[in-house]
Amino acid sequence: MSSGSVELRGLTKRFEDSVAVDGIDVSIEPGEFFSLLGPSGCGKTTTLRMIAGFERPTAGRIVLDGVDVAEVPPHDRHVHTVFQSYALFPHLDVFGNVAFGLRRRRVAKDEIKRRVEQAINLVELRGLERRRPRQLSGGQQQRVALARALVLRPAVLLLDEPLGALDAKIRKQLRLELKALQEEVGITFVFVTHDQEEALSMSDRIAVMNTGRIEQIGTPADVYEQPATLFVADFLGVSNLMDAHAEWAGSVRIGDFILRAGCGDLAARGLVKVVARPERLGLLAHGTPTENCLPGMVERTVYVGANLQVIVRLPTGGTIQASIANTGDATGYAQGTPVAVHIPADALRVLAPARVAPAPEAGAEPAAAAAPAVAAQP
């Protein structure tokens, strides 16, 4: 089996009365940049810590390169972890920090020098070898932590929100560098984050987690454009979630208006949710004779630089948000302006509501919580 494959089978972690990770199944390919994405408390960091060996699973298997390591101590697993805090040794310079693990393994001095210099060059820190951590910027410290991990040549590198302590500008810069570095070294990266932009911009695939379970696994485009559940649709990016009534295949009623939906659970009938991303919507002059439009009135326009976020109040009483390219003239979207919101059929996705479990019979033991229903893919 190729080096760097990870398989989680029925992985579960319970803490007293709570379930942090609830029987998840994941397969990560060698050399893949795989992200665990979700809100605080969803179980993503606990999952990472179990892969690293810092937490012992309550049940399930952790298979690294074909070997179940669920009971193997951390130092005997061919993985390394980079934490948000970096945990650099303040009394050691950059070279000493990067070389620390190799010295603990009693690697020959010439080999240490060669491998440390190679790692330092890889993360573009040449010339800073003799600086102490306090003399480095946050981004430079993060690179030292990466070099210290990479110099050990792990099969899998685990990253627990390593960019979380940096300011926004440095984070954006390091996202590109981190992805380029991963492609260059070819090591499997398992990346934990709650930052959607980080996950979408760097990952080959993303697992979206919620309350200890995986809601959806897919490429960034899959999970963003084709959310499988209400949670994924609402959590990722900005979503226009609306109540609707599925009339027949591909047609939904929103208030008094019939629109055509081109994707999602088109077989659903009755009450459903529909979702459309703001960047897929168009704003037309009120009364424009175009299909798949909802009338409305501009309630607020927010200037965000490259785009205008236009909030439109619909006849149903709800609001919908459109993201419009900034052309330098926002006068057409003044508060109170009547407009027609055009939603292309291929941008309107039907999400059937989660199934409700039947009430238990009197005297019966309560059943375990049902997993959220997953909407069918087109």
Element (H, E) at 207: strand 205-210
d(CA 189, CA 198): 14
Task: List, run by run, the mean pLDDT of 10-residue segments along the chain (378 residues).
Answer: 84 94 96 95 96 96 96 92 85 94 92 92 90 91 89 92 77 83 90 92 96 96 93 91 91 95 92 94 89 95 91 95 86 89 96 52 38 36
Element (H, E) at 234: helix 230-235
Residue range 71-112, pLDDT digits in tens: 999 989 999 998 877 789 999 999 999 999 999 999 999 999
What's the Cα-to-Cα distance from 189 to each of 29, 125, 205, rounded to whole Å?
10, 21, 11
Q: Tell me the C-alpha to C-alpha distance, in Å, between residue 56 and each of 52, 64, 210.
A: 10, 15, 21
For residue 55, what is the DSSP state? S
Q: Does domain 6-225 have CATH number 3.30.300.30?
A: no
Q: What's the confidence (pLDDT) of residue 237? A: 85
pLDDT at residue number 9: 97
| pLDDT the model gives residue 185 | 87
Nearest Cα to Cα of residue 98 among 124, 110, 77, 116 = 116
Rounded Cα–Cα distance for residues 372 and 47 (Å)? 20
Lookup: tokens for 222: 């899959």
- Cα(321)–Cα(332) distance, integer angstroms: 15
Task: Give the up-direction half-sphere exposure of residue 204: CA atoms within 13 A in the CB hemisphere.
Answer: 17
CA separation for the pair 214, 42 (Å, rounded): 9
pLDDT value of position 377: 37
Q: What is the pLDDT of residue 178?
A: 85
- Predicted pLDDT of residue 366: 37
Residues in Cβ contact with 161 at an 8 Å cutoff, skipping those fewer than 6 apart: 45, 84, 192, 193, 194, 195
Pair type for strands 213-218 and 205-210: antiparallel
The CATH code belonging to domain 238-351 is 2.40.50.100
Q: E-strand spans in 69-171?
A: 79-82, 156-160
- What span, in angstroms and rounded, lies between the C-alpha atoms of 351 and 229? 7
> Using CA atoms in the order 164, 167, 171, 177, what is the torsion angle rounded to 10 degrees?
-110
Residue 41 near residue 90 (C-beta atoms within 8 A): no
- Please state the domain extents for the chain: 6-225, 238-351
Q: Encoding tokens for residue 111?
A: 């080999």
Q: Where are the alpha helices (DSSP H) in the chain?
A: 44-52, 94-104, 109-122, 138-150, 168-185, 196-202, 220-225, 230-235
Q: Please report where in the chains the tokens 């995986």 appear, as a residue.
A: 214
Q: E strand or H helix at 296, and its extent?
A: strand 293-303
Rounded to 5 degrees, what angle do the CA atoms 193, 199, 200 make? 160
